[in-house]
Amino acid sequence: MLSRVARSSSSATRAFSTSSKRSMPLYVAVLPDYINNEETRHANRQAALKDLAKDRTLGNILERPYLSDKYATQKAGEPHPNQQHGVEGSILILDAPDINAAWEQVKGHTFWTKVWDEEKATIKELKSLPAEHIGGGAL
């Protein structure tokens, strides 16, 4: 029987696998917020949380806000006490048939028109790798 850690690790590898056995490529979207836009992000947060279930059916594998360096964790196990105010944007990992579909997923998100700076948004395809290289040094 697999340990809890082994099961979690195995699940994570499957979820993030970019092997050629995938039916669709993976994309990473880097979506900076408009400057000084914390209030707008907060005001739209509940709507964005409701979108999570829909986003999963569209192929969004991971959605996370990212922090400015000022509010980033400086020591493992001791996150900055005020990280909520240090959000600079979002990172999405998308499972989509092509880059146009990935852009459509992003543009359909609640944060697209009010929170994320559309001029600074980028989406890049992740290189396919054999499953044994996931989490390893296959750069």
User: Domain 26-125: which CATH class?
Assistant: alpha beta
> pLDDT value at position 127?
87
Would you list the domain boundaries of the chain? 26-125
Residue 4, pLDDT score = 35
Name residue 64's beta-bridge partners: 91
Amino acid 97: pLDDT:
93
Joined together, the tokens standing for residue 75 give 């020591």
Q: Measuring CA to CA, how many Å separate 32 from each of 67, 115, 116, 123?
A: 10, 8, 6, 12
Give the 3-state secondary structure of residue 23: coil
Which residue numbers in the chain have pLDDT < 70? 1-22, 59, 83-84, 130-139
Q: Which two tokens mark 59?
A: 């192929």
Question: CA separation (Å) from 25 to 16, 49, 66, 117?
Answer: 11, 25, 23, 25
- In which residue are the tokens 């099961």 written? 7
Q: What is the pLDDT of residue 3?
A: 35
Return the sign of the alpha-carbon dihedral for residues 61, 63, 69, 73: negative
In the chain, the N- to C-terminal Cα span, in Å, equals 32
